[in-house]
Amino acid sequence: MYCEVVSNSPQIAWDELRERAREATHHSYAPYSHVRVGAAGLTSDGLVVVGSNVENASYGLTLCAECSLVSDLARSGGGRLVAVAIVAGDGQPLAPCGRCRQLLFEFGGSSLAVDAGVGHAPTTLGELLPGAFGPDDLDERRT
Ligand code: THU
């Protein structure tokens, strides 16, 4: 079980989610940086989606693990993310890069619970990406 709702507050099974992320590091393709990254996300339907980083000889085209995760989310039927754990090959949590904070915002919004790196308790995406631009802004700003 990855999530149990206690007093209207979701209790995320972070150890289990991090373990799924750690497993995903084994599918990482990181011949350039040698930083293997895996990500695991829990959906509001209780599904777990995963991703691994995929690097490229043209360095800037590298796909982060979270990018693979949102692709897996779409592939497996979509839905909303409620928690995401990101882990490096050393087994420790990794803070999501700026671009990936935006990618995750699309599918989890500011309430998404996110691991925030070594020495940091999980926090919300709203804390990691305050004032984010998102789908609602598009709806409001079309002319
Ligand atoms: N990386 C991720 O997969 N996610 C992040 O949020 C930060 C960085 C990957 C990209 C690259 O393959 C390696 O870590 C080193 O930057």
Structure confidence by residue, pLDDT tens digits, 131-140: 999 999 998 8
For 49-108, write each residue's pLDDT tens digit.
999 999 999 999 999 999 999 999 999 999 999 999 999 999 999 999 999 999 999 999
For the Cβ of 102 lying below 6 angstroms from any atom of ligand 1, the answer is no
> What pLDDT is recorded for position 116?
87
CA of 6 to the centre of ligand 1 (A): 33
100 CB near ligand 1 (under 6 Å) = yes
- The CA distance from 69 to 108, in Å, is 12
Q: Which of 94, 102, 103 to mutate to test the pocket of ligand 1 (most atoms within 8 A of CB)?
A: 94
Tell me which amino acid residue 43 is. T
Ligand 1 centroid distance, CA of 123 (Å): 19
SS3 per-residue string spanning the chain:
CCEEEECCEEEECHHHHHHHHHHHHHHCECCCCCCCEEEEEEECCCCEEEEECECCCCHHHCECHHHHHHHHHHHCCCCCEEEEEEEECCCCECCCCHHHHHHHHHHHCCCCEECCCCCCCCEEHHHHCCCCCCHHHHHHHCC
Pocket probe for ligand 1: among 26, 34, 53, 70, the residue whose CB has the most ligand atoms within 8 Å is: 53
pLDDT in tens, 5-64: 444 446 899 999 999 999 999 999 999 999 999 999 999 999 999 999 999 999 999 999
**What is the percentage of the chain residues whose pLDDT exceeds 90?**
90
